[in-house]
Every structure is written in C-alpha cells, then in structure tokens.
Amino acid sequence: MPIEEVESTAEDIEEMEIRGAATIAAAAAEALGAQAAASDAPDPDAFEAEMRRAATELYETRPTAVSLPNALRFVLQGMEGKTVEAKRESIRSAGRRFRNDLETAQERLGRIGANRLRDGDVIMTHCHSTDALATVEHAVSDGKHIEAFVKETRPRNQGQITASQLRDMGVPVTMIVDSAAHRYLNDVDHVLVGADSIAADGSVINKIGTSGLAVNARDRGTPIVVAAQTLKLHPGTLTGHTVEIEMRAETEVISADDRADIGEITVENPAFDVTPPRHIDAIITERGQFPPESIVSLMRELYGDMDEEPWTDPE
C-alpha cells in the first residue's frame, strides 16, 4: 500500500511550499482524492486502511491550522460503498465537493466582509490570508477605494504575498516592519486578519504577532476584524482540548552563521499566537458576522457530534 500521492503534498505542507489554512485544506483533500484514484488496494478493508494512513500522514504535517483535520474528516466521512471501486469514487467525489464548498464559502465570506469596508477605508494586514483578501477583493469590485498598511510579518515575510496580491487588485500599499504597527494604527480604519483556528471561547489562533497587534489596535481604538470560514472552527475545543502552537525551525529567525557569531543563545520560533475574544470586534464567516463570544453556537451546530479523528485505526 504505497501512499506516494500524499507524500509529496505532505512534504510541501511541512516545508510551507503549500501554506495558508484554506490552501492547505484544499491540497489535503486533493491529495486524498489522488491517493484513492491511484490505489491498488486488493479489497475494501485494505483500501480503508490505506486512506486512513494517507490522512494520518497529512494530519501530522502542521498542528495548528484546524482546516487540515477538518478537510480530512470531511473527505473520509464521505467514504461509502462496499467495493473498492465504490469507496474510491466516493472519496474522489467528497474531495471535489470539499474544494467546491471551500471556494463557495470564501466567495460568500468575501461578500459579507466587504460590507464592513467603506469607500476610502484604510486597512492594516498581518501575514497573508486568502479569507481576509477575499473581503478586500469584493469591496474593490464594488467600486470602493481601499488602501492598506501591510506588516511584513517576520520571520517568513508573508506580508510580501499580501502586498503583491493587493497591488494586483489596484490597492495602494504601504509596507511596514512589524514593530511600526502602533505608529500607524491611528491612520487605519480596520485591522483585518485571517485565522488558522478559532476556539470555542472565541479566541483566535493566527500568525505570531496577531495578539500584540490586537492589543495595540485596542489601545488606539481601531477595530480588529477576523475573516475566517467555518472550516477554521476547532471542534476539539468544544470538548476541552487546546490548540497546539507549532514551533518552527530556529533558522527561520537567525542564520546559523549569525547565531554562531553571537555565541550561546536560545532561539524560539512559535508560528502562531492566541488572541483572546475581548480584543476582537468581529469574526466574519460565510454564515455571517459573529461577535467572537457567540461563535460557540455556530461551532456546536456545525461540528457538535462528530468523530474527531476518523483516521485513527478503529481496532
């Protein structure tokens, strides 16, 4: 039972060649579909075991963005039929349905989020989020003039991706270093970020630096808005689990040579942080806009009774 089809996707997710919570989810669903198509499993049980193993390989790549396990669950739970052929087809069609739903959700979220943005508004962004940019794209196509302060977002500088995509939309961009955010928040109407996971209490887990930005935004009285499809709701937090924060390589922060020049130091590189609900004004989803404290009711409705990890071996 080789699982080559998923191995390269898993590697790309780990190395962040594929990144961004929604993009990771889409790639994982596609990889499971490709694995199902290529499988030469001799019988239905072997096919199911292969799918579970493929999902586990993908699941173990990055721990924080819940869109990944949510995607795997959706596709695996779509598996039905008694023969290998039937199971194969159901996995492939669940994968297609998942990717289609994801696009529709982002489109709806974008339309809803655009209503918050007025003509002439200035936003500040952190990292790169396709959900957040969907709201700007819709506002711009509604004819609104939007300008942006884009934080570079150390250590991987994903702000550059945001800057480039905003420029493609015709949005004037001012790039700033992360530590300049407080200085410019008086000139900003909304801080607009995405999310990797949202916990049942309304806390938002997003790229490192989001929580500090939110504290600064509160200090300046600037609203902080999170654009996140319901795919980012973390069902495990309904039953008391916490969201694991991914720690990444120290070399993303400082090169080995520079570090050797400095001498004995410790380097930490958490990829994400937690912003408490009291620092967030609104969470925009494809189901509408929610105050963070009420997101739990949507989470119960969508994920209330599900098998949390269908990829673990039932035996």
Please answer whether residues 20 and 133 qualify as being in contact, where contact means their C-beta atoms are separated by less than 8 angstroms. Answer: no
**Which residue, 111 or 145, is less far from ligand RI2 as judged by CB?**
111
At residue 212, φ and ψ (nearest 5 deg) are: -65, -40
Q: Is 194 in the site for ligand RI2 (CB under 6 A)?
A: yes
Q: Which two tokens stand for residue 58?
A: 């993908």
Q: Token match 């942080």: residue?
A: 273
Verify whether residue 127 is a known catalytic residue.
yes
What is the DSSP code (8-state) at residue 259? H
Question: In this structure, which amino acid lies at residue 51?
Answer: M
Site string for ligand RI2, 110-149 (x = CB under 6 A): -----------------x-xxx------------------
Q: Give Cα 85 to chain centroid, integer Å.
A: 33
How remote is the C-alpha of 91 from its chain's centroid? 23
Catalytic residue (one of 12, 119, 121, 127): 127
Distance of closest approach, residue 196 Cβ to ligand RI2, in angstroms:
5
* Number of C-beta neighbours around residue 184 at 10 A: 17
- Residue 162 sits in the site that holds ligand RI2 (CB under 6 A): no
Q: Kindly tell me which residue out of 3, 6, 10, 21 binds ligand RI2, with binding defined by CB under 6 A.
A: 21
Site string for ligand RI2, 224-263 (x = CB under 6 A): ----------------------------------------
Q: Which of 206, 216, 230, 285 binds ligand RI2 (CB under 6 A)?
A: 206
- Work out the angle between the directed axes of helices 44-59 and 67-77 (0-180°, nearest 10): 170
- Which residues form the catalytic set? 127, 196
| Chain residues that interact with ligand RI2, rule: CB under 6 A | 19-23, 127, 129-131, 158, 193-194, 196, 206-207, 271
